[in-house]
A and B are shown apart, each in its own frame.
Chain A
Amino acid sequence: MPMIRVLAFVFLIVAIAMAYFQLHDHPAWADFQVPLEQSTTELTPSSTSTYSKTKPIVNPPTLQGLTEWLPDTTRPSLHAASVIPLKDGNWRAFWFAGSREGAADVVILSATLDSVIKQWGPASVVLDREGAQVGLGRYIAKLGNPVPMRNINGQLQLYVVAVSIGGWAGSSISVMHSDDDGVTWSGPKRLITTPLLNLSTLVKGSGFLFADGTMGMPVYHEWIGKYGELIRLDPTGQMLDKRRMTSGRGTLQPIVFIDDAKHASAYFRQARRTGPKQIPVSHTASAGERWELAPDLGLANPNAAITGVELPDRTRLMVFNDLEHGRHRLVLAAAWPNPAKADSSQSAKSNYSPWKTIAALEDETASTTNPKEEFSYPYMSLNQQGQVLLVYTWNRKRIKSILWDASYLQSYLQHIKSEMDRSR
């Protein structure tokens, strides 16, 4: 039939031309954006005069932080808090809350921490199920983990897990934008990240920037496989690419520490059926384009989420449950860059000191009244003043926050490090 042949030929030529332009427009893979190293002396403790809840530094210093609770909204179950510094110096937190995890009435909430009075403001609803359904043009059963990210242009974005069918295995990620630092939000837009009905991609760890202004977001799958992936997004939050960080059924919820333009390490929540209950590790030497599994970190992990930040002096902090079972103990650990081996050709393994637990933030090991004490889903973020804000779920009933000022944190870390150096 000649007509169909003519049609096929014309469309084939058009397809070749359009595919060429599409491939031509796609940005090439870029290096990581590496923050400029700052001297620790440049850090200014922010408004220490209002830091009334902390004690003055004594010798030996202790880890002084401001502990607060995120606003209670009378919703009985809440989880998965995350935070991001705002342009005005305050912080904004996001979390989900409802009658129970996975219920239809779960909403994504947000509140701000005033940096002057050091108190959380009232909570507001960022997204509910009905809003998600309208924005995504489909039935949505429940909402989950919200993770904020600031793009190269300073726009605040929120990556949210949404489920249409099944449990968390049926998740996909949607992105929302805010041009007023989180007061108002656009409708969500879905990211397509897997080929099988787009089932089972979730977000938990914080994202980072590539040198060309595109964004990296560590995500994970939790269905047939349990493994980590890196998705690459353009500044508007549109998918550009993705790369596998691990495979199989043993790793979840990656966090990424960037060493230099090419090197980075990803740490995971372990979800192994058998094998060591330790934090799994994956490395890249190609700016995230290819990842290789590395030996475990040697830190216990009970199949629970972890979080980390890198301070301006490149000291790394991590918060996790250092247990093989249960989540009743939450600790802060630090790793220091090793100047003797600070060589960009080296992997992070050899560039950093081993992780050292520097403080127990929660420890209910001795509690007999409530054996199900749970301190979980930590999320940590750093602002330009060097303050570190940690949020985590406290017994699934409240979200607790701890704010560490740069000066207190630095003096405590230096004290621990000098003690370590002395003991060598």
Chain B
Amino acid sequence: MTLSTLIHQLPLIEISLITSIIFLHLIRATLNIGYGLVPGLLLVSIASLVLLAPFGAIGAPWSLPFAAYIRGVTGDLSILSLMLLICTWSGLNAFRIASITPILITVIAILFYPFALGFTMFDPYAWGYHSSVLVGTVLLVAAIYFFAKHSWEALMISITVIAWSIHWHESINLWDYLLDPFLAVWAIGLSIRWVIWGRPQADDANEWSMDASLMSRRKRGRMFG
């Protein structure tokens, strides 16, 4: 495999890894089984290879790897989604987002999508191409998170801006690196739950440790892993 072929395949590799992570998490949560990080990485690698395998070349009736079909529907996920998924799945005990984060994403998504999809002549999506005000605001939010001692968000937003500046994905629009519909749905669901039932306390985590049960993770305020 040449370097250019590998670079061309990177988006498919990325979507395979993320799909595997979500898929394995759902299995783990449904069957209520637990495993450590190393077996988890092994399972994700195997699942990703299955998603990337060129079955069409060995006579399967479909011509593309599964990952290409998934990418056809979802496109590339936002960098923020990717990092949230990876951080929660990896089960880092230190990883805990601020209570305000899903609410902030919810408010932005609810304000953003109707206008970005043609509700009026006002188009916030156009800012994402090169608006210094938008980029400045995003970096300011990252700085506020940092000084408010929420380093995870500061780190994730910074990596998002770096990924945008090197055009890691097909899009050159900053919004596509910050937000996607799946992240918006997740944030809206989590915000509603936290606002109505309150957010679980962080110290619950001590009781549950690396338990795989979905309920325990929900109590710790995590959607995944």
Bound-complex Cα distance A189 to B172 (A): 13
Interface string of A13-42 (1 = CB under 8 A from B): 011101101110010000000000000000
A195 and B112 contact, CB distance less than 8 A: yes
Bound-complex Cα distance A242 to B176 (A): 14
B94 and A22 contact, CB distance less than 8 A: no
Interface string of A74-87 (1 = CB under 8 A from B): 00000000000000
Residues 281-305 of A at the B interface (beta carbon under 8 Å): 291, 293
Q: From known contacts A23-B132, A238-B172, A248-B118, infer whether A139 and B72 are also in contact, taking CB-CB under 8 Å.
A: yes
Chain A: minimal CB distance from B39 (Å): 25
Q: From known contacts A15-B159, A16-B139, A192-B173, infer whether A130 and B63 are also in contact, taking CB-CB under 8 Å.
A: yes
Chain B: minimal CB distance from A234 (Å): 10
- Judge if A273 is at the interface, Cβ distance under 8 Å: no
B75 and A198 contact, CB distance less than 8 A: yes
Q: Which of chain A's residues have a CB closer than 8 A to the CB of B8?
A: 137
B146 and A12 contact, CB distance less than 8 A: yes
Q: CB < 8 Å: which of B130, B135, B164, B171 contacts A241?
A: B130
Q: Which of chain B's residues have a CB closer than 8 A to the CB of A164?
A: 72-73
- Judge if B37 is at the interface, Cβ distance under 8 Å: no
Residues 97-143 of A at the B interface (beta carbon under 8 Å): 130, 133, 137-141
Q: From known contacts A11-B158, A11-B162, infer whether A197 and B68 are also in contact, taking CB-CB under 8 Å.
A: no
Which chain A residue has the least Cβ–Cβ distance from B166? A18
Which chain B residue has the least Cβ–Cβ distance from A223? B117
B165 and A192 contact, CB distance less than 8 A: no
Q: Which of chain B's residues have a CB closer than 8 A to the CB of A246?
A: 121
Q: Which of chain A's residues have a CB closer than 8 A to the CB of B176?
A: 192, 195
Which chain B residue has the least Cβ–Cβ distance from A164? B72
Q: Which of chain A's residues have a CB closer than 8 A to the CB of B149?
A: 5
Q: Which of chain B's residues have a CB closer than 8 A to the CB of A130?
A: 63
Q: From known contacts A133-B68, A138-B71, A192-B170, infer whether A224 and B117 are also in contact, taking CB-CB under 8 Å.
A: yes
Q: CB < 8 Å: which of B118, B151, B165 contacts A22?
A: B165
Bound-complex Cα distance A196 to B161 (A): 19
Q: From known contacts A19-B139, A133-B64, infer whether A240 and B129 are also in contact, taking CB-CB under 8 Å.
A: yes
Q: Which of chain B's residues have a CB closer than 8 A to the CB of A9?
A: 146, 154
A239 and B181 contact, CB distance less than 8 A: no
B113 and A8 contact, CB distance less than 8 A: no
Chain A: minimal CB distance from B72 (Å): 3
- Judge if B125 is at the interface, Cβ distance under 8 Å: yes
Chain A: minimal CB distance from B78 (Å): 10
A19 and B135 contact, CB distance less than 8 A: yes
Q: Which of chain B's residues have a CB closer than 8 A to the CB of A227?
A: 118
- Judge if B187 is at the interface, Cβ distance under 8 Å: no
Q: CB < 8 Å: which of A8, A139, A190, A243 contacts B158?
A: A8
Main SS of chain A's interface residues? Answer: mixed
Bound-complex Cα distance A227 to B123 (A): 12
Bound-complex Cα distance A22 to B180 (A): 22
Q: From known contacts A139-B64, A195-B173, infer whether A225 and B165 are also in contact, taking CB-CB under 8 Å.
A: no
- Judge if B175 is at the interface, Cβ distance under 8 Å: yes
Question: Which of A140, A192, A227 counts the most chain B CB atoms within 10 A?
Answer: A192
- Judge if A221 is at the interface, Cβ distance under 8 Å: yes
- Judge if B74 is at the interface, Cβ distance under 8 Å: yes
Q: CB < 8 Å: which of B113, B157, B159 contacts A195?
A: B113
- Judge if B99 is at the interface, Cβ distance under 8 Å: no
A196 and B181 contact, CB distance less than 8 A: yes
Q: Which of chain B's residues have a CB closer than 8 A to the CB of A192?
A: 75, 169-173, 176
Q: From known contacts A192-B171, A224-B118, infer whether A18 and B155 are also in contact, taking CB-CB under 8 Å.
A: no
A1 and B94 contact, CB distance less than 8 A: yes
Q: Which of chain A's residues have a CB closer than 8 A to the CB of B113?
A: 195-196
Bound-complex Cα distance A22 to B172 (A): 10
- Judge if A50 is at the interface, Cβ distance under 8 Å: no
- Judge if A384 is at the interface, Cβ distance under 8 Å: no
Q: CB < 8 Å: which of A8, A18, A196, A242 contacts B151?
A: A8
A137 and B121 contact, CB distance less than 8 A: no
A194 and B139 contact, CB distance less than 8 A: no
Q: Which of chain B's residues have a CB closer than 8 A to the CB of A243?
A: 123, 126
- Judge if B80 is at the interface, Cβ distance under 8 Å: no
The 8 A-B residue pairs with the shortest CB-CB distance in the complex, in nearest-first order: A225-B118, A139-B72, A192-B171, A164-B72, A11-B158, A18-B165, A15-B158, A26-B130
Q: List 21 A-B contacts (CB under 8 A).
A: A4-B152, A5-B146, A7-B155, A8-B152, A12-B146, A15-B158, A18-B161, A133-B68, A137-B8, A137-B9, A137-B12, A137-B68, A137-B71, A138-B68, A164-B73, A194-B117, A195-B117, A196-B116, A240-B130, A244-B118, A291-B121
